[in-house]
Chain A
Amino acid sequence: MGSSAAFLRIKGLRKSYDGVDALRGIDLDLEMGDFLSLFGPNGAGKTTLIRIMATLLKPGAGTVRVMDFDMEEHPEEFRARLGVISHQSFLYNDLSARENLEFYAALYRVADPAARAEELLGLVGLSDRADSKVSGFSRGMQQRLSIARALINDPVLLLLDEPYTGLDQSASMLLSGHLRRLHDRKRTIVMVTHDLKRGLEAATKVGILSRGRLVYLKDRAELDPREFEHAYLRYLKGVPDA
């Protein structure tokens, strides 16, 4: 609709650790409702990029702007509308599924934490195990719960760092389904992944990050999957690990 102002705008973003450049100048615009899948070999700077977008890391140079949020002075307003899923579950092992969700719901100042927790438990199919400790959960169940956790504040921007790593079949399908639904509701999604099939299926934009640069960025509609696969493998330098 409104085409002028980008939802998320990254300009000249750089970051280095111990003098090693992880990001060497990233420029990226996303509209509201975009779903960007980012591919790239290990060490390309994907996780660094996600962590900077999530305000966990400060940029070395350049800016990240999301809507009108003031990322410098009041990052908490932005964080309140942000969701993150990584291959780490972010769950407390000694608490039950319900307690985990209620805790996070309260942190995000959700109006009725108990009701929200109940709703999400149903959504990820864990209602019957709601009061068991997370430490007794199977890997798949933990992953489903961590998806529920990330959705607790109904985020406008969802960042995913290798979310499919180690997911079992049912959890992967559940995640894909939720991503599709969020996308339908105009949520903006940035996903870093190695999984070509999952990465391409729902995306509206596809990018490749290599050695700290965004070397490839196209609309999904204009993209020929075979040509893309070619480009991707070339950047992996013939070592496909996906």
Chain B
Amino acid sequence: MRDALLIARKDLLAEYRKKESIVSMVFFGFLLLVMLNIAVGVGRELDGEMAAGILWVSIIFSAVLGLGRVLSKEKENRCIDALLLSPVEPEQIYAAKTMVNFIFMAVAEAVLIPAFFVLYGDRFARQVPMLVVVVLLVNIGFSTVGTLFSAITAGTRRNEVLLPLLLFPVITPLMALAVKVTGGLFEDLPYREYSSWLYVIAAFGLIFSGVGYLLFEFVIKEG
């Protein structure tokens, strides 16, 4: 864990210096919120689930921008070789990158979700503490599987194009669940109405953190 924190700290420091990932994620997510607002018709009253769908499409599309960069940055000057040459275990690199992706996503959401309430109406801003829980659980699911897949695409010729092609099919269920639960929150439904879906979201994160932890080594190393 010590090594993972060390690598994550290094990544966050570099991002703090340049802010390139976060800025593009927030900008793109905000742009999508506006475009989707136009797409559904400006001034139209949306029900909770539709609004939740718009929010999650914006978040996931913006998150995928940051995801691709986190590992491809290690390819500059072949720093990834230096990490693999050090006594650090590959699992630690996986944990570090997953943390970084999780944090990037959370920071972007901290801007995008308030922006969403401004654009789509603050009548959806109910059960906010629960919304935070849901968002963080979805982030875990997204960053665990996303980090594994970004390691795959970082080793291909078509990194940035390929990542969403591989990732989106696998996270479609996660998105469906996120929309369902968030829609329930926006409609102010009681906990028992959506709790079982919440468990499936948590299970997704749990399962794929295991899958990523076990398999990351095989995609980051050459042979």
A–B direct touch in complex (beta carbons closer than 8 A) = yes
Which residues of A are in contact with B by a Cβ distance under 8 Å? 51, 54-58, 76-77, 79-80, 82, 84, 86, 88-95, 99, 103-104, 106-109, 133, 149
Q: Does B176 contact A (CB under 8 A)?
A: no
* Distance between Cα atoms of A93 and B20 in the complex (Å): 13
Residue pair B78, A107 in contact (C-beta under 8 Å): no
* Distance between Cα atoms of A140 and B84 in the complex (Å): 25
- 4 extra interface residue pairs, beta carbon distance < 8 Å, beyond A95-B13, A95-B14: A56-B81, A57-B222, A89-B77, A107-B83
Q: How far, in Å, is B84 (CB) from chain A's closest CB?
A: 6
Query: Which 3 pairs across A and B sit closest by C-beta, in order of nearness?
Result: A90-B82, A88-B78, A94-B14
Which A residue's beta carbon lies closest to that of B10?
A103
Contact of B79 among A79, A84, A92, A99 (CB under 8 A): A92
Which A residue's beta carbon lies closest to that of B9?
A103
* Distance between Cα atoms of A55 and B125 in the complex (Å): 53
Which residues of chain A have C-beta atoms less than 8 A from B14's C-beta? 92, 94-95
Q: What does the 1/0 interface line of B67-86 toward A look like (CB < 8 Å)?
A: 00000000011110111111
Residue pair B86, A107 in contact (C-beta under 8 Å): yes
Which residues of chain B have C-beta atoms less than 8 A from A104's C-beta? 82, 86
Which B residue's beta carbon lies closest to that of A87?
B78
Contact of A58 among B83, B84, B223 (CB under 8 A): B223
Q: How far, in Å, is A144 (CB) from chain B's closest CB?
A: 14
Residue pair A133, B87 in contact (C-beta under 8 Å): no
Residue pair A108, B77 in contact (C-beta under 8 Å): no
The bracket for how many chain B residues form the interface is: 20 to 34
Residue pair B13, A90 in contact (C-beta under 8 Å): no
Residue pair A82, B85 in contact (C-beta under 8 Å): yes
Which residues of chain B have C-beta atoms less than 8 A from A57's C-beta? 222-223
Q: Does B221 contact A (CB under 8 A)?
A: yes
* Distance between Cα atoms of A51 and B222 in the complex (Å): 10
Q: How far, in Å, is B24 (CB) from chain A's closest CB?
A: 15
Contact of B87 among A58, A86, A99, A107 (CB under 8 A): A107
Which residues of chain B have C-beta atoms less than 8 A from A92's C-beta? 10, 14, 76-77, 79
Q: Does B187 contact A (CB under 8 A)?
A: no
Chain B 150-207 interface residues, beta-carbon cutoff 8 Å to A: none
Residue pair A86, B78 in contact (C-beta under 8 Å): yes
Which A residue's beta carbon lies closest to that of B76?
A93
Which residues of chain A have C-beta atoms less than 8 A from B47's C-beta? none
Which residues of chain B have C-beta atoms less than 8 A from A109's C-beta? 87
Q: How far, in Å, is A194 (CB) from chain B's closest CB?
A: 19
Residue pair B86, A79 in contact (C-beta under 8 Å): yes
Which residues of chain A have C-beta atoms less than 8 A from B222's C-beta? 51, 56-57
* Distance between Cα atoms of A94 and B82 in the complex (Å): 16
Q: How far, in Å, is A209 (CB) from chain B's closest CB?
A: 20
* Distance between Cα atoms of A79 and B222 in the complex (Å): 17
Q: Does B18 contact A (CB under 8 A)?
A: yes
Residue pair B10, A95 in contact (C-beta under 8 Å): yes
Q: A77-B87, A104-B82 are in contact. Are A91 and B13 (CB under 8 A)?
A: no
Which residues of chain A have C-beta atoms less than 8 A from B76's C-beta? 92-93
* Distance between Cα atoms of A104 and B86 in the complex (Å): 8
Residue pair A56, B85 in contact (C-beta under 8 Å): yes
* Distance between Cα atoms of A108 and B88 in the complex (Å): 8
Residue pair A79, B81 in contact (C-beta under 8 Å): no
* Distance between Cα atoms of A79 and B81 in the complex (Å): 12
Residue pair B77, A54 in contact (C-beta under 8 Å): no
Q: Does B122 contact A (CB under 8 A)?
A: no
* Distance between Cα atoms of A89 and B223 in the complex (Å): 22
Contact of A88 among B18, B81, B88 (CB under 8 A): B81
* Distance between Cα atoms of A109 and B221 in the complex (Å): 22
Which B residue's beta carbon lies closest to that of A77?
B87
Which residues of chain A have C-beta atoms less than 8 A from B223's C-beta? 57-58
Residue pair B87, A76 in contact (C-beta under 8 Å): yes
Residue pair A79, B85 in contact (C-beta under 8 Å): yes
Which residues of chain B have C-beta atoms less than 8 A from A77's C-beta? 87
* Distance between Cα atoms of A92 and B218 in the complex (Å): 24
Chain B 58-111 interface residues, beta-carbon cutoff 8 Å to A: 76-79, 81-89
Residue pair B77, A91 in contact (C-beta under 8 Å): yes
* Distance between Cα atoms of A116 and B76 in the complex (Å): 25
Q: A88-B78, A91-B77, A93-B76 are in contact. Are A56 and B10 (CB under 8 A)?
A: no
Q: A94-B17, A94-B18 are in contact. Are A106 and B6 (CB under 8 A)?
A: yes
